[in-house]
């Protein structure tokens, strides 16, 4: 799994001119899923994200987690995170999981994330043409890959 984690002051997801998710302070997470991903990847990634200390403490130091600040989150499935640009100019998405696998893993990720955060999170609409609006705070943007745990 790959995640682009963005600390935001606000974010929303719109589908067909209707806002389906919106939030204030928290994290917007773009989530890419590949065929080889497992429930172990989900557990590790969700735990890592809710505990990332990327929110400022009283001294302006990034020392607080999403849990610490009682922040919100939106998880958006994004297969393009597995784009391969090695050959030519048209990206290949061969590594991205097919919908029958990806939907189940995405839904499980949302459930696990909600359980770890202790509240509901917003989502995108799998396979839909979404408009994602965000106000990146910092900006703070972190990329996490469960197959490359650095």
Active site residues: 80
Are 71 and 25 in contact by the 8 Å Cβ rule? The answer is yes
Q: Ramachandran region of residue 130, left (φ > 0), alpha (ψ -120 to 50) or beta?
A: beta
| Lookup result for tokens 């290949």 | 92
Measured distance between the N- and C-terminal CA atoms of the chain, rounded to whole angstroms? 14
């Amino acid at each position: 799994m790959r995640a682009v984690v963005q600390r935001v002051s606000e974010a929303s997801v719109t589908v067909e001119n209707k806002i389906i998710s919106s939030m204030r302070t928290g994290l917007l997470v773009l989530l890419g899923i590949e065929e080889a991903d497992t429930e172990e990847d989900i557990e590790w990634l969700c735990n890592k994200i809710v505990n990332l200390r990327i929110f400022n403490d009283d001294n302006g130091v990034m020392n607080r987690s999403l849990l610490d600040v009682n922040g919100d989150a939106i998880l958006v499935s994004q297969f393009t995170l597995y784009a391969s640009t090695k050959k030519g100019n048209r990206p290949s998405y061969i590594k991205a999981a097919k919908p029958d696998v990806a939907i189940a893993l995405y839904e499980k990720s949302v459930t696990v994330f909600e359980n770890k955060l202790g509240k509901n999170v917003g989502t995108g609409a799998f396979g839909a043409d979404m408009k994602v609006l965000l106000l990146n705070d910092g900006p703070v943007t972190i990329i996490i890959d469960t197959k490359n745990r650095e």
